[in-house]
Amino acid sequence: MSDLVLTLIGPDRPGLVEAVAEVIAGHGGNWLESRMAHLAGKFAGILRVEVPAAQVAPLSAALAGLQESGLRVIAEPSDGSEQPAPDEARTMDLELVGLDRPGIVREISQILARSGANVEELSTNRSSAPMSGEMLFSAKTRVRLPPHADVARLRAGLERMANDLMVEIRLVETALEAKGRVR
């Protein structure tokens, strides 16, 4: 069996997920995990499938054929890398809320990168504040920190950034498996 990572994008319309699922199942594939969303009239997603090795090329060709209906699908073989063992890394959730302004994601990502954090998931949104109607920006991020990461330094950097940008930040460790810590 081979693992493939698929990315897809196209104009949103009913039946897109069904079309992709039909092609995958028709080539003996198994849909393992996915993240998909509607954004600004487009449907975008990323998913991982398992397929018999002999079906990789035919499946890729069939998925490419979906472009005729406006759905662009790119299939890439998985590199097979595994997540670090729980005692080798820490997982943390970061949440941010504040008035929207350009550069918030850049500021957060710079601090995370300096600490060696790998962004595993990032979800952002803009919405109208209930009372003032001003635009609020919110972000939810799951990051994996290497074992040598200085969490106190990461927190301090995020707090400085929060003060500078006038946003609220919450950083919570989600995986406490290592060395007697309880999840």
Delineate the domains of the chain, giving CATH numbers in brackets.
2-77 (3.30.70.260), 86-173 (3.30.70.260)
Q: What is the Cα–Cα distance from 71 to 68, expressed in whole angstroms? A: 7
Q: Which residue has the higher pLDDT, 92 or 174?
A: 92
- pLDDT digit string, tens, across residues 152-161: 999 999 999 9
pLDDT interval class at 178 (50, 70, 90): very low
Q: What is the Cα–Cα distance from 14 to 2, expressed in whole angstroms? A: 29
Contact between 16 and 42 under an 8 Å Cβ cutoff? The reply is no
Q: What is the Cα–Cα distance from 21 to 81, expressed in whole angstroms? A: 25
Q: What is the mean pLDDT of the chain?
A: 89
- pLDDT digit string, tens, across residues 16-47: 999 999 999 999 999 999 999 999 999 999 99
Closest CA to 93 of 175, 2, 22, 183: 175
What is the pTM (predicted TM-score) of this model?
0.76
